[in-house]
């Protein structure tokens, strides 16, 4: 009796059953894969900043690096867990991505659409003619594509609206192939809520997740968020890249591979009362040079500063890569002297209410804020 397999009819989104003529992998053969998500092609991170003009190209360049890795390492499978594009893809953008995929001589590509590049009515996703090694799972309900030469079935679905609030991943592997992988995009209450216990009981060999931009393992070597390939928001801190994995008879092993051009770094810098505006400026410049001028920074200045020093944060972006500087410093006032000099006015009476409070306490913070406000008001 001939074997049958289910595979995705190219560009139609329909599942077709036909007698299997393909060569399957020998027992014991390993399967190598790369898992990416949230590439957000078409985004312009931090629009208006000096470096923002080149960021859109960097997103494309990093994707091309991943394609090069797949070709060089003869990766069997490239999984794209949603939001390949930041918004509805342009036709020319789909053609460019498809060309990249067509360069792969060994790798099959399976992708889904996420909440940013969802299957909007009229989307070019719906009619695009993909290369023969690309298998988009574009239906709005769980489906699968079988890849006989890998003895693999990949399950998944795409967004047809910006939000999917119901659970969609409480499914079981269907036993359609030796290896079975689930491809999903979600993880919060508005975008396919996930339950760890459902995933653990699913029977899949691996669950490739997207939507959460910070790379992390929900379940080690099993359910993994690849994170954004490149950081696209100032809150996308830490390293970004892709997941390299291998499925063998012994199980699944994955590793995170950093490859992003830039990294968002948030740093708190301690200022003291001996520092001037110039020395704070040098401190920030030296920190940027030490951590990498290609990276993007948010600084938070904390500590006590000389009351006569005004930190001019607007002039401290030497390399055009500082997103924001928050000045949370407080003047290092001698409160006892201030009190004695102002016993009979509002300032003195305010300080009197807090004399003796412990440094660092909520009361001490109220003392600092109140004194600063009263002094600034008296000068205006």
Residue 369: per-residue pLDDT: 87
SS3 (DSSP) at 148: helix
pLDDT band at 4 (very low <50, low <70, confident <90, very high): very low
Query: Distance (Å, rounded) from C-alpha 204 to C-alpha 231?
Result: 29
359 secondary structure, DSSP code? T
Architecture of domain 4-258: 4-Layer Sandwich (3.60)
**Interval 280-296: pLDDT, tens:** 999 999 999 999 999 99
User: What's the rounded Cα separation, in Å, for the pair 289 and 180?
Assistant: 46
User: pLDDT, tens digit, for every residue of 139-166?
Assistant: 999 999 999 999 999 999 999 999 999 9
| Residue 7 in this model has a pLDDT that exceeds 90 | no
Helices (H), the chain: 55-72, 91-102, 196-200, 277-291, 335-341, 346-354, 362-379
23: pLDDT confidence band, cut at 50, 70 and 90?
very low
Show me where the domains of the chain are located: 4-258, 264-379
Taking residues 107-134, report their average pLDDT.
97
pLDDT exceeds cutoff 60 at 79: yes
**DSSP string covering 292-333, please?**
-TTSEEEEEEEEEE-TT----GGG--SSS-EEEEEE--EE--
Does residue 68 carry a pLDDT above 90? yes
Residue 21 above 60 pLDDT? Answer: no
| pLDDT of 350 | 94
pLDDT digits (tens, 9 = 90+) for 305-318: 998 898 999 999 99
- The pLDDT > 90 percentage for the chain reads 79
Structure tokens at 153: 């079935």
Q: How many angstroms separate the CA atoms of 16 and 162, rounded?
A: 28
Cα diameter, the chain = 102
CA dist 70 and 35 (Å) reads: 11
pLDDT digits (tens, 9 = 90+) for 212-241: 999 999 999 999 999 999 999 999 999 999
Confidence check: pLDDT of 27 > 90: no
Q: State the pLDDT at residue 3.
A: 32
Please report the pLDDT score of residue 379 as a whole number: 63
Q: In terms of C-beta density within 10 A (0-12 exposed, 13-18 middle, 19 or more buried), how is residue 182 classed?
A: buried
Q: Provide the whole-model pTM.
A: 0.85
Determine which of 89-93, 107-111, 315-319 has the lowest per-residue pLDDT on average.
315-319
Percent share of the chain, pLDDT over 70: 92
Which pLDDT does position 43 carry in this prediction? Answer: 96
Q: Which residue has the tokens 């992003």?
A: 260
pLDDT digits (tens, 9 = 90+) for 349-370: 999 999 889 988 999 989 988 9
Q: Is the pLDDT of residue 22 over 50?
A: no
The pLDDT, as a whole number, for residue 380 is 58
Mean pLDDT computed over 320-336: 92
Give dist(CA 327, CA 280) in Å, integer: 11
| 68 CB-near residues (< 8 Å, 6+ apart) | none
- Matching residue, tokens 């996308």: 236
């Amino acid at each position: 009796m001939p074997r049958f397999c289910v595979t995705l009819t190219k560009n139609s989104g329909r599942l077709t059953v036909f007698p299997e003529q393909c060569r399957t992998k020998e027992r014991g053969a390993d399967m190598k894969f790369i898992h990416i998500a949230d590439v957000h092609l078409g985004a312009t991170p931090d629009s208006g900043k000096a470096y923002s003009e080149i960021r859109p190209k960097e997103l494309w360049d990093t994707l091309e690096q991943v394609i090069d890795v797949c070709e060089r390492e003869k990766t069997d499978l490239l999984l794209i867990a949603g939001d390949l594009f930041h918004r509805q893809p342009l036709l020319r953008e789909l053609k460019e991505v498809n060309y990249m995929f067509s360069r792969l001589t060994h790798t099959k590509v399976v992708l889904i659409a996420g909440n940013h590049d969802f299957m909007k009515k009229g989307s070019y996703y719906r009619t695009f003619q993909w290369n023969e090694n690309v298998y988009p799972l574009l239906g709005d309900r769980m489906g699968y594509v079988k890849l006989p030469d890998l003895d693999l079935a990949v399950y998944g679905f795409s967004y047809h609206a910006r939000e999917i609030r119901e659970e969609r991943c409480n499914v079981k592997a269907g036993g359609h192939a030796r290896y079975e992988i689930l491809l999903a995009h979600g993880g919060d209450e508005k975008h396919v809520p996930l339950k760890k216990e459902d995933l653990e009981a699913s029977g899949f060999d691996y669950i490739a997740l997207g939507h959460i931009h910070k790379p992390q393992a929900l379940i080690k070597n099993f359910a993994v968020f690849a994170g954004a390939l490149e950081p696209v928001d100032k809150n996308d801190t830490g390293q970004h890249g892709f997941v390299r994995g291998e499925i063998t008879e012994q199980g699944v092993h994955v590793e995170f591979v950093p490859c992003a051009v830039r990294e968002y770094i948030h740093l708190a810098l301690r200022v003291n009362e001996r520092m001037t505006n110039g020395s704070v400026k040098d401190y920030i410049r030296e920190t940027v040079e030490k951590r990498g001028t290609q990276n993007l920074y948010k600084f938070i200045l904390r500590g006590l500063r000389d009351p006569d020093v005004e930190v001019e944060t607007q002039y401290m972006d030497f390399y055009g890569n500082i997103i924001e500087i928050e000045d949370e410093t407080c003047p290092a006032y001698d409160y006892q002297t201030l009190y004695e000099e102002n016993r009979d006015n509002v300032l003195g009476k305010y300080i009197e209410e807090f004399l003796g409070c412990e440094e660092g306490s909520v009361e001490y913070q109220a003392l600092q804020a109140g004194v600063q406000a009263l002094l600034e008001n008296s000068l205006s």
